[in-house]
Structure 1
Amino acid sequence: MTSLAPRSSLSPRWLTMHRAVLLALLVLAVVSFIVATADSDFAYTPEQLLVSLVIALAVTGAGTYLCAALVRVPPGADSWAITALILFFLMPGVSDAASAVSMVIAAGAAAISKYVVVWRRRLILNPAVVGAIAAYAVSYAGVTIGGVPLSSPFWWVAAEPLFYPMLIIGILLVTALREWWLVAIFLLASLATVGVLQVTQGGQDLQFVFVSSPTLFLAAVMLPEPLTSPTSRIHRAVYAIIVAVLMNWQQTFEITDAYSLEFVPQIALGIGCLYAFVVRLVAQRGAGRVVLDTQVDRIAENTYRVRAQTTSPLRFAPGQWAMISAPRWSAPLWQRTRRVFSYAEAPGENPAEFAFTVPSAQVSTFKSDLIESRRSRLYLDATGGDFTLERRVGRHPLVLLAAGIGITPYRSMLRTLTLGDGRPDLSWLTVVHVVGAAERTVYDDDLDILRAAGARVEIIADAGLTAGIAEPAAMVDLAGRAVHSGDAHYLVSGNPAFVRTTAATIRRTDTTTRWAFWRIRTDAFLGY
């Protein structure tokens, strides 16, 4: 999908978002142990880091599975380990009883928050943020163990010897997650905030902000967390700006004579999570997790439809995606329990509808369970994406190009246009659907309705074209006069190769889009 996608088109199929983050944190942890062993001036010894890591993993894992057993909801695999590893990099290395208890408090609070700091079974705050804030609050309150104060989050991951490893790992991770928009906005907002402070107050140090503070770690690892960040581009930009400004603002607000509020990184990110929660609450009329009772049937060769009944119609924009989860008791690591599907029905229709294809050889456990009816209850965790129709369609030619199951977001859009009384004039619309074989065509009835309304509809059964429309002449033949109109807009949806090749051909064929780049929008179906 266009936003919050689990991996980039260059990543292997098995590398989901959670796995990418988990692997990045594990590699960074290994590097940290190497640095601690080789550098006698490093803040912590390897033994201190090892004790810290063991406590973080043990307490977070035990707390997560205990809470899951109490509420009878299977936990998400990998997420507990990600939370533990983040806290490992935030909290000081364990050197005494006080630092050990501090880690226990942070890890325990993070685990419990997954089931307590929620709204209708949906996370409000990033669990690692909750753990860090809990440790910060206890330390701020002056609690001691044997006369030694409990530790506050230290964010030692920002140590200078880890800068280049963090930079390289961060670049690879953000590329795999396809989150450069979010991270770039955050870094630019951080730079702008520091610039304003330099002009108004002076004394700012860019090296400290980007090398000796957790800016890179927070941007690459914590900021993109999908369940506690907004799901549309504009709100994600606002979210990134809020966190960046608060984190670098360097302001302290006195609450009482003894207590004051300082926007340390965990509090800044916590406020960003609250903004995301409010956005979900308003946009979706409730930010809770929605139960989906599903039925699955075959609609074409290797293509299946999921019909999901809900207590009330779901709220979304045509073309958006849904993050669906199917939690189950399984191995605690390396299990995939979430998928992203595009809505295939119009807003307001119930049941909701999704569709997916399966390869002829290997089928994921998630999809196999759906096909074999071993799993009928799913959960809607998030709705989002910007691959949507304009509010006022018909002002200029619109060309929709899809490969295979990439037609599902278009089906949602087209049903929205054709439902209701009367017959709309869709002469400004062109739909091109490329499939590998004739028996893989879907939604024929919907396409017939479009033809009757005046739209140009082309269905091409050509396995070679599923990798992309590479020739400008073919683009002209398929898209018709819209290519030469000078103001056509294009939406391209399908597998990454089709999207990449077809979008490039559009730019070569309709040269006006080279400058008006916003007239081409894409949605890559990753097939994971």
Structure 2
Amino acid sequence: MVEKFQSEIISIKNITEDVKHFVLTTPDNFTFIPGQYISIVADTEEEKLRRAYSIGSKPMPNKLELCIKIIPDGALTPKLDLMKQGDKLELIGPLGKFILKEESKEKELIFVCAGTGISPFRSMIQYLLEKGHDKPITLIAGYRHHVLYDEEFTSLAKEHPNFKYEVALSSKGKHVQDILPVSKEAHYYLCGLDQMINSVKNILTESGVETIISEKYD
């Protein structure tokens, strides 16, 4: 059920020079499906801003996690950059339909993302592995320089034989398209900018892959 609520910042961690990991409180009755997002609402001198951020953690009691890139000339993120533990935020959610299809739960899953597009897949992967999903899961993550949650996913890949994790750094001349596994029977989920999603979709459709679900962000 979508609702508006006040949240308190539990913690903020810098995970790269321009990306922060927020842990926020949620009400007792707040629930969401991995892959959904929340909107942060903030007042400025000119207008009331509302920006969407994918929830980057599995469902947990009374808290959620966000991975937010700070845009220096952005409308909202410079304000978020100045916030600290104990500050309050107004949230609306959960929202969105970028969730695992029921039929995907019995299939090989391949997640492909770029940058902070990792967020919904971090939520899904944490949830699936905790629930004992035993089908193959692959995460292909692309970044320019700095990798997000690398230690976490590397550790998960060691703990779970069915989970495979690969990274492509464009600063070193490698892109997700270069390491993309193609499996006609797998269900693919893509999250990132238009250019990456369109390119990956073209590769997959030309290879006969039928199930491709994507979420584009600006």
Q: Could you say whether these structures have the same fold, taking a TM-score greater than 0.5 normalized by the shorter chain as the test? A: yes
Counterpart of 1:511 in structure 2 is: 208
Q: State the alpha-carbon separation in 2 of the partners of residues 441 and 371 from structure 1.
A: 18
Q: Which has the higher helix share?
A: 1
Counterpart of 2:7 in structure 1 is: 292
Does the Cα contact within 8 Å between 1:318 and 1:416 map onto a contact in 2?
Answer: yes
Q: Secondary structure at the match of 2:62?
A: coil
Counterpart of 1:435 in structure 2 is: 143
Q: Count matched residues.
A: 214
Deviations 1:294-345 (A, max 9, x none): 24321123111121112326211100111221235x23xxx35110000011
Deviations 1:351-385 (A, max 9, x none): 211111135xx332411111111793211223221
Structure-to-structure mapping, 1:69-108, within 5 angstroms: none
Q: Which has the higher strand share?
A: 2
Does the Cα contact within 8 Å between 1:321 and 1:342 map onto a contact in 2?
Answer: yes
Q: State the alpha-carbon separation in 1 of the partners of residues 88 and 6 from structure 2.
A: 7
Structure-to-structure mapping, 1:440-479, within 5 angstroms: 440-454=147-161, 455-463=163-171, 469=177, 474=178, 477-479=179-181
Counterpart of 1:355 in structure 2 is: 67
Counterpart of 1:50 in structure 2 is: none
Q: State the alpha-carbon separation in 2 of the partners of residues 444 and 426 from structure 1.
A: 22
TM-score (norm 1): 0.38
Structure-to-structure mapping, 1:52-451, within 5 angstroms: 284=1, 287-294=2-9, 295-312=11-28, 314-328=30-44, 330-331=45-46, 335=47, 337-359=49-71, 362-373=72-83, 376-391=87-102, 393-419=104-130, 424=132, 426-437=134-145, 439-451=146-158
C-alpha spacing 1:406/1:288, structure 2 compared with 1 (3 Å): closer
RCO higher in structure (CA 8 A, sep ≥6)? 2
Amino acid at match of 1:324: I
Does the Cα contact within 8 Å between 2:106 and 2:135 map onto a contact in 1?
Answer: no
C-alpha spacing 1:502/1:478, structure 2 compared with 1 (3 Å): closer
1:525 and 2:204 correspond = no
Counterpart of 1:94 in structure 2 is: none
TM-score (norm 2): 0.86
C-alpha spacing 1:396/1:311, structure 2 compared with 1 (3 Å): closer
Q: State the alpha-carbon separation in 2 of the partners of residues 512 and 440 from structure 1.
A: 28
Q: State the alpha-carbon separation in 1 of the partners of residues 154 and 217 from structure 2.
A: 21
Q: Which runs of 5 or more residues in structure 2 are unaligned?
A: none
Does the Cα contact within 8 Å between 1:355 and 1:405 map onto a contact in 2?
Answer: yes
Q: State the alpha-carbon separation in 1 of the partners of residues 93 and 80 from structure 2.
A: 19
Displacement, 1:478? 3.2
Does the Cα contact within 8 Å between 1:399 and 1:430 map onto a contact in 2?
Answer: yes
Q: State the alpha-carbon separation in 2 of the partners of residues 505 and 450 from structure 1.
A: 26
Q: Secondary structure at the match of 2:53?
A: strand
Greater Cα radius of gyration, structure 1 or 2: 1
Q: State the alpha-carbon separation in 2 of the partners of residues 349 and 453 from structure 1.
A: 24
Q: State the alpha-carbon separation in 1 of the partners of residues 209 and 75 from structure 2.
A: 45
Q: State the alpha-carbon separation in 1 of the partners of residues 73 and 174 from structure 2.
A: 24
Deviations 1:381-432 (A, max 9, x none): 2322121113365522211001011010001111112336xxx364511110
Q: Secondary structure at the match of 1:338?
A: strand
Identity %: 19
Deviations 1:128-187 (A, max 9, x none): xxxxxxxxxxxxxxxxxxxxxxxxxxxxxxxxxxxxxxxxxxxxxxxxxxxxxxxxxxxx
Q: State the alpha-carbon separation in 1 of the partners of residues 204 and 103 from structure 2.
A: 23
C-alpha spacing 1:507/1:395, structure 2 compared with 1 (3 Å): same
Q: Which runs of 5 or more residues in structure 1 are unaligned?
A: 1-283, 514-518
Q: Secondary structure at the match of 1:440?
A: coil
Does the Cα contact within 8 Å between 1:307 and 1:351 map onto a contact in 2?
Answer: yes
Amino acid at match of 1:322: I
C-alpha spacing 1:443/1:409, structure 2 compared with 1 (3 Å): farther
C-alpha spacing 1:395/1:311, structure 2 compared with 1 (3 Å): closer
C-alpha spacing 1:342/1:434, structure 2 compared with 1 (3 Å): same
Amino acid at match of 1:303: V
1:496 and 2:207 correspond = no
C-alpha spacing 1:522/1:462, structure 2 compared with 1 (3 Å): same
Does the Cα contact within 8 Å between 1:313 and 1:352 map onto a contact in 2?
Answer: no
Amino acid at match of 1:308: L
Deviations 1:171-204 (A, max 9, x none): xxxxxxxxxxxxxxxxxxxxxxxxxxxxxxxxxx
Displacement, 1:465? 5.4
Amino acid at match of 2:196: F
Q: State the alpha-carbon separation in 2 of the partners of residues 447 and 342 from structure 1.
A: 22
Amino acid at match of 1:403: A
Does the Cα contact within 8 Å between 2:24 and 2:64 map onto a contact in 1?
Answer: yes
Q: Secondary structure at the match of 1:382?
A: strand
| RMSD (Å) for aligned C-alpha atoms | 2.4
